[in-house]
């Protein structure tokens, strides 16, 4: 199918883009890489009369690693995340996760902002950003505000972003300790059947801090506070791992679909979480 008719706008500043979003309201949509939005328009699942292309807004691009703080412009592509050596040194989990998104063709065009703003539970970056406790910087006609990734997702395709707001940047502290992004998918290029983003810090053989978020196991990404509590203060022994997996499985709410029935997804979620904890701990 081809999309319905739309007007195309190419603003050169955040202010102009926001003004267009405010003027046309629900009829307008920002377009970044277009790798989620254009398929939705072709399937007539997104009704867009005004497409606001963000490609000409230079202020939305780039990666800054400043001391312990990392700021990524919304229009930074997934390929640029993978290619950035400063980012790989400061937060290597970004490269590990981005390499598991789709394929190189998608990653050359797909942006981190589009990935996290989309609200698709299958996207890999939202769970990763919850694991990193990232903050999203949003600019709208009322000014700029910040929302944490853990508070941003409300339901599938529903987020805390207002219609006239643009996601301009993502900010987080460089993570401490070991990391892992573990993703189970049906084939190369597929969305996750289940994925786990994990950070683990160890002191003297004891887990001193952790962070865990799961992808595509609910209608939003799931930050697993109880699973974290099950690990912190332990030596990551079998009982702690079992408790963390049980807590995670109690927090997710997978639905049966062409990736499998609910019990299978919960099982796979446990497998990826155990693998991610083991790899993160081995790097801590
Ligand atoms: C074959 C294929 C396989 C894929 N596999 C995966 C996968 O395994 N994992 C994965 O995570 N993704 C996957 N994707 C999706 C891909 O990563 C998309 O590029 C990404 O989800 C959206 O980024 P985009 O820049 O293309 O955004 P777009 O498609 O342009 O936009 C997506 C949504 O976000 C909104 N938006 C975009 N930027 C902003 C902004 N700055 N402020 C406010 N709203 C904004 C748009 O209005 C739209 O609603 C796949 C895509 C394809 C085509």
Is residue 1 over pLDDT 80? no
Residue 189's pLDDT band (cuts 50, 70, 90) = confident
CB 33 near ligand 1, within 6 Å: yes
Model pLDDT, residue 67: 87
- pLDDT digit string, tens, across residues 82-94: 999 999 999 999 9
- pLDDT digit string, tens, across residues 156-177: 999 999 999 999 999 999 999 9
Q: CA–CA separation, 44 vs 71, rounded Å? A: 34
Q: Read off the tokens for 119.
A: 């609200």
**Which residue has a Cα nearest atom 14 of ligand 1?**
102
Q: How close is the Cα of 38 to the center of ligand 1, in Å?
A: 9
Query: What pTM was estimated for this model as a whole?
Result: 0.97
Model pLDDT, residue 249: 98
Model pLDDT, residue 243: 98
Percent over 90 (pLDDT), the chain: 96
Q: Which of 37-51, 151-165, 209-223 has the lowest mean pLDDT?
A: 37-51
- pLDDT digit string, tens, across residues 228-277: 999 999 999 999 999 999 999 999 999 999 999 999 999 999 999 999 99
Model pLDDT, residue 2: 86
> Sign of torsion, CA 126 91 233 283?
positive
Model pLDDT, residue 46: 87
**Which residue has a Cα nearest atom 20 of ligand 1?**
115
Q: What is the mean pLDDT of residues 69-88?
A: 98
Pairing of strands 7-9, 28-31: unpaired
Q: What is the mean pLDDT of residues 30-42?
A: 95
Q: What is the DSSP string of 39-79?
A: HHHHTT-S--SEEEE-TT-GGG--EEEETTEEEEETT-BHH
Q: Is 155 exposed, middle or buried (0-12, 13-18, 19+ CB in 10 A)?
A: exposed
Average per-residue pLDDT in the chain? 97
CB 218 near ligand 1, within 6 Å: no
CB 77 near ligand 1, within 6 Å: no
Q: Read off the tokens for 86.
A: 């400063």
Model pLDDT, residue 3: 86
């Amino acid at each position: 199918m081809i999309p319905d008719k739309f007007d195309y706008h190419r603003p050169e500043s955040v202010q102009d883009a926001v003004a267009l979003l405010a003027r046309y309201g629900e009829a307008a949509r920002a377009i970044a890489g277009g790798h989620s939005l254009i398929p939705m328009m072709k399937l007539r699942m997104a009704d867009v009369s005004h497409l606001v292309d963000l490609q000409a807004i230079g202020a939305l691009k780039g990666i800054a690693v400043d001391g312990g703080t990392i700021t990524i412009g919304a229009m930074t592509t997934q390929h640029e995340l993978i290619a950035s050596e400063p980012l790989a040194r400061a937060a290597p989990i970004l490269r590990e996760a981005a390499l598991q998104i789709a394929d190189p063709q998608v990653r050359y065009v797909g942006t981190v902002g589009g990935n996290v703003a989309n609200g698709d539970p299958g996207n890999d970056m939202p769970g990763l950003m919850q694991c990193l406790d990232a903050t999203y910087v949003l600019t709208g006609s009322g000014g700029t505000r910040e929302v944490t990734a853990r508070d941003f997702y409300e339901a599938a395709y529903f987020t805390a972003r207002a219609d006239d707001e643009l996601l301009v940047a993502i900010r987080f502290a460089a993570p401490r300790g070991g990391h892992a992004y573990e993703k189970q998918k049906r084939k190369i290029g597929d969305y996750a059947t289940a994925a786990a983003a994990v950070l683990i810090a160890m002191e003297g053989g004891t887990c001193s801090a952790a962070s865990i978020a799961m992808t595509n196991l609910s209608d939003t990404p799931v930050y697993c506070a109880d699973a974290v509590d099950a690990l912190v203060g332990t030596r990551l022994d079998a009982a702690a791992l079992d408790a963390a997996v049980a807590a995670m499985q109690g927090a997710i709410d997978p639905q049966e679909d062409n990736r499998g029935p609910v019990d299978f997804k919960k099982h796979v979620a446990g497998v990826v979480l155990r693998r991610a904890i083991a790899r993160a701990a081995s790097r801590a």
